[in-house]
A and B are shown apart, each in its own frame.
Chain A
Amino acid sequence: MKPGVISRSGLLLGLAGVIVIGLVSLIYQFTHDAIEESEYQAMLQALNSIIPPDSHDNDMVNDSKILAANKELGLKKDALLYRARNEGKIFAVAFPVTAPDGYNGPINLLLAIDREGKILGARVVSHKETPGLGDRIESRRSNWSDGFQGTSLENPTDEQWKVKKDGGVFDQFTGATITPRKIVKAIHSALMFVDSNPGVFFDE
């Protein structure tokens, strides 16, 4: 191959790259707002499902602060903590919790806790549990995750923060004990962390 051919091909290849990047950037600009809006709506829907929208007067999605990566919450990376306020005062927070040891890998949850340490709601956001068995943790498949509503560190007691099979109060599924067990454990651990570090969650 002659040097002229190589440089000509190189230039053409570079040109093709520039054109494709230009096209993709154009579409990116065009879809940028719609993507942000979709992300916002998805987050809003998730938050509304665990904290009733009429119980607070602020826009929770845009009222967040960074929650540092932390082992007790199972968070490997920094995440966002969302605050629900009434007349400026934080009365509840929502934040992600990960059960790192699900049956098929990590299970990501969204947990809402009020100032008294009571759980307002818990939802499974994403998981890889067995379809038809472990996936009943999803709120659209069963109301299992509603079972956390109203619980706290005192109610049930430490000994009872387990699935029924292990002597606790939370249901398990026939054929899938590990999945609920690990979620109960992760939520219990998160409650203990909130209890010992209230400042992280409820300070401005």
Chain B
Amino acid sequence: MSNSDLVTTDYSKVIHDGLWNNNPALAQVLGLCPLLAVSGTVINSLALGVATMMVLIASNLAVSLLRLYIPNEIRIPVFVLIIAGFVTIVELLMHAYLYNLYTVLGIFVPLIVTNCAIIGRAEGFASKHSPLPSLVDGISMGLGFTGVLVALGVMREVLAQGTLFADASLMLGDWATTITLFENYDGFLLAALPPGAFIGLGFLLAFKNVIDQYMRKRRTSQVVVDIPDANTEPALSQSD
């Protein structure tokens, strides 16, 4: 297998990649099915985000620990097995301890199996790195994905219902309360429906690109002043 472990891992780059540069939703544009489907409210987003993150962290760690023992030819089926196993475990735990939330998220919990972002990290990162960097990668990619889900959830819930954290008690227990931002809000139906999810994600993608462009412009103008030769841009995305 690869011997890239000999090179010391740049953790700050791993974290930056997961949260922003190579964000699963905004740069790799993976896992959109659950992202678009459950982002109607903040709590649904948060719950699915955390569930996905748990699977991602566990599968990254397991793949990394087993990477030297898995023959190259059967690595993909083994990765799928590992991911499916962890998804089933998360599903069982949610069914047992977060029953109401489990019924709300329904089919999207088992469907975490098909989230390409997870197998993408298993194949693209964990199978080539030792456990600690893989763990860090899992956490940052998971946080990156959850962050985008929650951002979309906030946008859609505020626009559609004028509230934040509706049904928070399903996830966090009875102490959690819904914040009503606008009293007697009539609602903006489009935001709650699937087109609202697509439009919202479009705005988030555009927002990221605008910021990246701005940063790049600032950096290149500095580079011209400081060192005229080294002007290599790191690749933004490396999805397969």
A contact residues vs B (CB 8 Å cutoff) = 1, 5, 8-9, 12-13, 16-17, 20-21, 23-24, 27-28, 31, 34-35, 38-39, 41-42, 126, 130-133
Contacts and interface: CB of A to CB of B under 8 A. Distances in A.
B192 A9 contact: no
Prevailing SS type, chain B contact patch:
helix
Contacts of A132: 160-161, 187, 189, 192
Contact of A13 (B74, B88, B161): B74
Interface string B64-84: 000001110110011001101
Contacts of A8: 71
Nearest to B72: A9
B11 interface: no
Contact of A34 (B70, B78, B96, B193): B96
Contact of B96 (A12, A24, A31): A31
B89 interface: yes
Interface in B65-116: 69-71, 73-74, 77-78, 81-82, 84-85, 88-89, 92-93, 95-97, 99-100, 103
Contacts of A35: 92, 95-96, 99
Interface secondary structure of A, over-half rule: helix
Contact-residue bracket for chain B: 20 to 34
Interface of B: 40, 69-71, 73-74, 77-78, 81-82, 84-85, 88-89, 92-93, 95-97, 99-100, 103, 160-161, 187, 189, 192-193
Contact of A9 (B73, B82, B99): B73
